[in-house]
Amino acid sequence: MNSLPAIVTGISGGVDSAVAACLLQKEGYRVAGINIRILDTHDENPSLEPSPLVISDHPDFQIPVFSLNLSMKFFDEVIRYFRNEYLSGRTPNPCMVCNKTIKWYGLLEGARMLGAKMIATGHYARTSFSDGRYRIMKGCDPEKDQSYFLWMLSQTDLSKTLLPLGTLTKPEVRELARTFGVRAAEKKESQEICFVPNDDYCSYLKNSIPGLEKQVAGGEIVDVEGKVLGRHRGYPFYTIGQRRGLGISAPEPLYVTGVDADHNRILVGRKVDLECRVLTASGLNWVGIEPPSSAFETAARIRYRDRESPCRVEPIGDNEATVTFETPKYGLTPGQAVVFYRSEEVLGGGFIGHTHQP
């Protein structure tokens, strides 16, 4: 049993995951890395295999890496979700769904196969435990804080998770990478969706869903009064807040304010029409608190780079709530996530559904 790793660390090939693994080994843990393959041939019965990935050239950080092919699961749970959300007129966030259904699932499976007790990732966030609950806390570097993406994790997930980079800044991580001999020390970060070439989701949808472009082209572009202003190239190819590429002229700039998938219609309006105070959130997952039974005041983000804004959360079902912001938010987008915070802590989150004025 002594040869088995105590911690399994996700290894993506980037600098963050490599430094996380090296930090844990430096602290005395027995560490193994797992590289989750998601764009490979589909494997109905995935198993761990030795990976050619090398984390470090330093002799003190020769960490074994295994690969786990979850390409079939990734297609079923992330790519299908991505496509279906656009076809439903919503804007998906595949990275947070991937975190829950692929990364944490894969690392916990890998840990089980290797006999490890804990897992770790290179996310810039922190965990803590108090009052009988595991909690998600913001990363100490406000420029890199990734707590927004982790609201879907369960208490079981968090009980087995370490986040070694939560107290570090990106420059500090790069300096550690050089010290550890990490090959990816100078590798640039990618902000693109991993399965969408050139970050062009429109071309991806056209190429991956045969006949889609022809099927949805030519629908109406309608203003807030219901007046038809033109025709569009297909409702899945537009997102809330979009200004360019509308193909219509108007005396003032117009923005996409709504996507009506049922009628293949795009709604447009002025920038002020993108302001909204009320949304309905569904698929809620509460991390820092028990599911609330009554309304309460907190703060929330509606996108990764958003700042928390004061709001009131009112439960309307087992996993739904109405969220009302004190001041209007700009560009509330169905399909994205609203994540609730109390100071440095993530209380929970859910997916933005309907948006409306009170």
Task: Mark whether 140 is an active-site residue.
Answer: no
Helix (H, G, I), strand (E, B) or coil at 24: helix
145 close to 139: Cβ distance less than 8 angstroms: yes
Candidate list 22, 95, 140, 194, residue with the active-site label:
194
* Candidates 22, 98, 276, 311; catalytic one: 98
98 included as an active-site residue: yes
Alpha helix ranges (H) inside 247-301: none
Strands (E), the chain: 7-10, 31-37, 48-50, 65-69, 118-120, 125-130, 133-138, 161-162, 220-222, 228-231, 255-260, 265-269, 275-286, 296-301, 309-315, 321-330, 337-342, 345-356
Query: What is the maximum alpha-carbon separation in the chain?
Result: 73
**199 vs 205: CA distance, rounded Å:** 11
Per the listing, tokens 């938010």 go with 329
User: For the residues of 77-101, what is the DSSP string, one character each?
Assistant: IIIHHHHHHHHTT----HHHHHIII
Helix residue spans in 131-236 (DSSP H):
155-159, 170-180, 201-208, 212-216
Residues 21 and 31: their CA atoms lie apart, in Å, by 7
The strand pairing partners of 312, in sequence order, are 297, 324
Please name which of 247, 261, 303 lies closest in space to residue 279, comparing C-alpha atoms.
303
Q: Residue 337: beta bridge partners? A: 351
Active site residues: 98, 194
